[in-house]
Structure 1
Amino acid sequence: MPKKDVKLSQNVNSNGKRKKKKNKRPISKFMTIFMIISLALLIFQIIKLNLLPTKLIILVSVVLILLALIILLILHFKAKGFISRLLMGLVALCMCIGLAYGNYFVYKADSTFDVVTSLADSKATTTSIVVLKASSINKEAELKGKTIGTILKMDEEATERMLKDLDSDNIKYKTKDYSTLDDMMEAFYAGKVDAICLNEKYRDILHESEAYFNFQTDSRTVHQNVHYTKVEKNDNPSNPVSDISKDGFTILVSGNDSYGTLQDSNTRSDANLLLTVNPKTGTILMTSIPRDYYVELVCPSDDDELACPEGSYDKLTHSGLMGVKSTEETIEKALGIKINYNVRINFSSVVNLVDALDGIDLDIKKGEEVDVFYTNSQPGLSVGKHHVDGETALAFARERHAYADGDNQRVRNQQKVFKAIFKRIISLKMITNYGKFMDAIAVAFDTNLSGDEISKFVKYELDNMLNWKIESYAIVAEPDYQFCYQSQSYASVVAQNDVMNEVAKKKIQAVLKGKSSTTVKDPSGYSQTASEDNAVGNTEELENMGILNSSGNTSSEYEEDSDYEYDYNQGYEDTDYYNPDDQYYQEDTYEDPDYQ
């Protein structure tokens, strides 16, 4: 029989009817359905997000629809051979994965945007499951069968919320309850529990205690639960510009000296950075003000408990105890400027953001190096390029004891860290770390920028794709010794620099008017970069405190001796005074019960 006849006979059944071909491409059909649904959902989410300009939404939608249509047409009608079907199947699979990730990307952006823009009206309570750094537990799932220490008597509501969170994820664990925070921490370090359930409001208490000063570097967080409650009163109004996409504006970034959540309480402002943004020219000016700048406080007028007499002077850092609005208005009075918005961050914000980005790159110049960090007694950074984690970035941003010009170098370090974070965010690495970064940023800061303003600014940026230029200026000041209102005691401060105040004001005004800040000359004579002999080291100071031994390693006596006496409750880095006979700070011993 001819071959053609054989082939025909194989397609006919015993009744003489032609057989229907079985569908041998179910995977192609599944990918087609998945691609269409994912594409429709992605376009819907992009529109709902309300961050992209209309013309960009249309462009993205048209490109994605055409790309999907071309792939599906080729897959179903053009790809006949095995090799061509396989290749187009792989292309379709890549398209499906891309659409799925795009949906996740937009969903995370949308949920984070909702959280960030509502923080001014919310109070966040963050509870963490914490393990020792050497622990083999790296993620929530690995808590199965482990023992978690709790302090229900002290923190029942937040603890039970966290345990319910673990239960909902089908994590089978055991708990061991303790009556006090100290008892739980002793068991944690002794290995009697595998992890602890810690309300983040207690982290700052641990950091200030003698026994657990290095808790932040000794431990890791493997799971968090964040609970938001609405706050009726908004005591942090903004001074908005008419159009945030066209008008220049200034934002105060206030870095609180605490770990944990931002909404629990007011704490000192460890860093005070002004960001002056001109959307039209794509210029950002960073202006740093010393933490211990001796300024006239502007106190809240509607709160008798926080009010202070007119003419009350103190360190700028202490204004944070009365709220970020007090810090903002105090800076406005000192520099003669207007601040439009504010953003609050804290130590945990910096650590979590940097870690979510898988670290940042710091290029340490001569005069910026540190042998041992004062804040956590960990090895410092030598001259050269370093990739650092969040805790190291924070320690570098807070370091002043290792430098001859102390607080002046600290603000330069803070600017260096901020620039490195910004550079990392706009790098390709951001794509692989997007989920972690969005989770971190959701609880990293609070702000009085409205959701509409943030949305409008982001739309403008995406519409114009500005090549941002970052300029910087740091006010330099000389040490002094003055009476401080908050502590009701004399303490070390840095005196206001009237010349640099005026320069800072003019630079801010220049950027707002569309000019570069470099057009304003600085006649003060102070350098904006560290001198090569600036790094004087702090190992002798740490040895005197008993934290380091003569070999430069952490003292075993400091690690193990519970009788070691050093009063962290006075407030770290805040207990010095200036000795007129010595160019460096010396330790002060004043204590005031109202200071904390």
Structure 2
Amino acid sequence: MGQKRNRAGNNSQNRNERNISNSREVSRRTKGKNRYSFEEDRRTTARYYDDDGYYQTEPKRRKKSASAKNRDDYTKKSKNRSSEYGSKGRKRKRRGRRKNVVSKTIGIILAIIQFVLSVVLTVNVLFFDMLTVTYIMVLAGVLLILLGITLLSQIGAKEKGIGGKIFCILLCIILAMGSFYIGKINNAFQKITGSNTMTSSMVVAVRQDDSAQKLVDTSDYTYGVQYATNADQTKSTVKQIEKEIGNEITVREYAGMIEAAQALLSGEVDALVYNSGQTGIIKDQIPDFENEVRVIYKHSIVVQIENTAADASVTEPFAVYLSGMDTYNDITSGDRSDVNIIAVVNPKSHQILLVTTPRDYYVPIPGISNGQEDKLTHAGIYGIEASMDTLEELYEMDIPFFGRVNFTSMINIVDALGGLDVESDEEFDTGEESGKVVHINEGMNHLNGRETLAFCRERHALADGDNARGRHQQAVITAIIKKMMSPSMLRGASDIIASVSDGVDTNFSMNQIQSLIKTQLRTNAEWNIYSVSAEGVGDKQYCYSSGDALLYVCIPDETSVSNIIDLVNRVEAGDVLEESTVVGQ
């Protein structure tokens, strides 16, 4: 027991010693802290003496730690940033307001441009005068709606309205192009309508081996002429030659053109004066004539044609002479007419009668041949009026209007239409003389411009000759009417107008064309097309234009002519002919 108590005492004594030791250590540490604190306080205070000799202490500013400095710097920077950003934000808002004002101003300017272009387009449409009032009202309404959309997209836009500006710019481009094309079409119609001139192309030719290169080289030559046809033009050309050479020329007159041409080739005369439209007549008798001579001079004579169709009505039945000129020359030149078709039109019954007359039809030319028969195609040499007068006398009718096309315009028109689907009543191959070798199938054929021209011109490969060619020409005209009344006409309108303006000539006035178009737009009528061809018998006879040479001709079949006269009367009376082809469906 005693040992236990001693152990307990020893333990208690040890604990007390440890507690005392710990207390001393704590006291020593506390004193150390206080000493360090005192020394720090001494370092942070400064003593100074006043006037009375007493000194006071002023606390020094403590040097801040790096972390404190960083905190202060961060705070200052934050304040600076906030003030700076606040200023920039206000600037950005002001700048944004200015940008919105500029954007809206630009939008309003674009809207004004769109308005002006809309007015210009409307005025052009009104001036063009080919749309009905309904179409014009619809156009004006659409333009106003589009202008309203543009204004709303700009005035009511909270942002820049970029989409509205793009929409407006596209519309302005479309409106400008619309005005341009309307002006282009209007100019083209002005160019082809109201024709009142015919051009006679007179030439001077020498033999191919002749040394003369210019007109002045022929001052001492003997000229061959014939005054039986085109006397006035020939005499006028002789005077012009003498004026340019500076002296009178020696002239030898012949009864006919063929005789005068043979005199040149034989050396009887040194030069020949003739109308270039008579080249075809000469080639019928002298096939190599063009290869054996050389043209050294050309003289064009423009003759005024009295336009009697200006007052004709297009709301009542009327007739149009369609002439296909056998040339690539100027459309107004006097040349043989290879295609002779009369279109009798009744705008009330919507019936069209196409009458084809063979080019070799043996008929007199009123006012020209003094009652002597000639080929119908030769009438074209004396002008479009001579051909119209000849057909009027043949079919006992009035033909106030005409339309002329040449080879070039036919090719361009068909190509601008994207080709034609033409129906043939037989299978054949065209020859080189037609302009292109083409295989034609019986039934439907898709042809381009040159192929269509060859199809219209070919006759030697056809069993029915010129009559079959006439039917093919009617098929081409029907195909053109169908194509021009289809949507493809709209896709190629500009190209079609461009090609027509240089290769088509008509005495329709602009007002008459406008009236026909507005009537069609208002009624949207389907048209009935009936085709008929004059028939005859082949023979060889003397012709007025060829002199003493025998030429192939087609003697008219009186029954066929009488049938055509009856059909013309029926169409003018308002009948719709059976078995007509309907177009515009």
Is residue 2:369 matched to residue 1:308? yes
Indicate conservation of the 8 Å contact 1:373/1:380, yes or no.
no
Change (3 A) 1:94 1:472: farther
Indicate conservation of the 8 Å contact 2:193/2:510, yes or no.
yes
The code of the aligned residue for 2:111 comes to T
Looking at structure 2, the residues matched to 278 and 16 of structure 1 have their Cα atoms a distance apart, in angstroms, of 73
- CA shift, 1:78, in A, is 5.8
- CA shift, 1:465, in A, is 2.6
Is residue 2:99 matched to residue 1:21? yes
- CA shift, 1:9, in A, is 6.9
Matching residue of 2:578: 518
Change (3 A) 1:423 1:308: same
Matching residue of 1:550: none
Task: Map residues 80-229 of structure 1 onto 2, 5 A cutoff.
Answer: 86=163, 91-121=167-197
The code of the aligned residue for 1:308 comes to S
Matching residue of 1:407: 466
Is residue 2:534 matched to residue 1:458? no
Matching residue of 1:292: 360
The code of the aligned residue for 2:485 comes to I
Indicate conservation of the 8 Å contact 1:121/1:230, yes or no.
no
Task: Map residues 160-559 of structure 1 onto 2, 5 A cutoff.
Answer: 233-235=304-306, 237-238=308-309, 240-241=311-312, 243-244=313-314, 246-263=315-332, 265-299=333-367, 307-309=368-370, 311-365=371-425, 367-370=426-429, 372-383=431-442, 385-488=444-547, 489-518=549-578
Q: Specify which of 34, 58, 75 is matched with residue 153 of structure 2.
A: 75
The code of the aligned residue for 2:187 comes to S
String of CA shifts for 1:46-71, please: whole Å, max 9, x gaps.
Answer: 122233334543442233223x2232
- CA shift, 1:232, in A, is 7.6
Looking at structure 1, the residues matched to 359 and 123 of structure 2 have their Cα atoms a distance apart, in angstroms, of 46
Change (3 A) 1:205 1:298: closer
Change (3 A) 1:62 1:231: farther
Looking at structure 2, the residues matched to 16 and 77 of structure 1 have their Cα atoms a distance apart, in angstroms, of 19
Q: Sequence identity of aligned pairs in percent?
A: 27
- CA shift, 1:407, in A, is 0.5
Looking at structure 1, the residues matched to 419 and 508 of structure 2 have their Cα atoms a distance apart, in angstroms, of 27
- CA shift, 1:433, in A, is 2.2
Indicate conservation of the 8 Å contact 1:475/1:497, yes or no.
yes
Rg larger in 1 or in 2?
2
- CA shift, 1:397, in A, is 0.5
How many residues matched? 416
- CA shift, 1:250, in A, is 0.6
Tell me the SS of whatever aligns to 2:126.
helix
Tell me the SS of whatever aligns to 1:501.
helix
Tell me the SS of whatever aligns to 1:12.
helix
Change (3 A) 1:101 1:427: farther
Tell me the SS of whatever aligns to 2:91.
coil
Change (3 A) 1:432 1:124: farther
- CA shift, 1:279, in A, is 1.1
- CA shift, 1:450, in A, is 2.5
Tell me the SS of whatever aligns to 1:286.
strand
- CA shift, 1:373, in A, is 4.8
Change (3 A) 1:46 1:442: same
Change (3 A) 1:380 1:24: same
Q: Specify which of 90, 95, 101 is matched with residue 12 of structure 1.
A: 90
Matching residue of 1:538: none
Looking at structure 1, the residues matched to 148 and 187 of structure 2 have their Cα atoms a distance apart, in angstroms, of 32
Looking at structure 2, the residues matched to 18 and 272 of structure 1 have their Cα atoms a distance apart, in angstroms, of 75
String of CA shifts for 1:78-125, please: whole Å, max 9, x gaps.
Answer: 66689x964x56654553343233212211121112212243258699
Change (3 A) 1:511 1:464: same
Change (3 A) 1:211 1:389: farther
Give the TM-score taking structure 2 as reference length: 0.62
Looking at structure 2, the residues matched to 204 and 433 of structure 1 have their Cα atoms a distance apart, in angstroms, of 37
Looking at structure 2, the residues matched to 384 and 81 of structure 1 have their Cα atoms a distance apart, in angstroms, of 64
Tell me the SS of whatever aligns to 2:348.
coil
Is residue 2:115 matched to residue 1:39? no
Give ranges in structure 1 of 5+ residues lacking alignment.
126-151, 155-200, 214-228, 300-306, 521-527, 529-596
- CA shift, 1:466, in A, is 2.4
- CA shift, 1:203, in A, is 12
Looking at structure 1, the residues matched to 509 and 94 of structure 2 have their Cα atoms a distance apart, in angstroms, of 74
Change (3 A) 1:123 1:294: closer
Indicate conservation of the 8 Å contact 1:351/1:390, yes or no.
yes
- CA shift, 1:416, in A, is 1.3
Change (3 A) 1:13 1:435: same
The code of the aligned residue for 1:392 comes to E
Tell me the SS of whatever aligns to 1:518.
coil
- CA shift, 1:10, in A, is 5.9
Matching residue of 1:61: 140
Change (3 A) 1:234 1:211: closer
Tell me the SS of whatever aligns to 2:111.
helix
Tell me the SS of whatever aligns to 1:21.
helix
Indicate conservation of the 8 Å contact 2:194/2:508, yes or no.
no
- CA shift, 1:392, in A, is 1.4
- CA shift, 1:440, in A, is 1.4
- RMSD over aligned Cα atoms: 3.9
String of CA shifts for 1:361-391, please: whole Å, max 9, x gaps.
Answer: 22444x1432545423523323454432222
Indicate conservation of the 8 Å contact 2:111/2:147, yes or no.
no
String of CA shifts for 1:442-479, please: whole Å, max 9, x gaps.
Answer: 12222222233223323333333322222221223232
String of CA shifts for 1:423-450, please: whole Å, max 9, x gaps.
Answer: 2222322333222211211122222222
Higher helix share: 2
- CA shift, 1:292, in A, is 1.0
- CA shift, 1:42, in A, is 0.6
- CA shift, 1:331, in A, is 1.1
Indicate conservation of the 8 Å contact 2:199/2:303, yes or no.
no
Looking at structure 2, the residues matched to 55 and 389 of structure 1 have their Cα atoms a distance apart, in angstroms, of 37
Looking at structure 2, the residues matched to 387 and 24 of structure 1 have their Cα atoms a distance apart, in angstroms, of 55
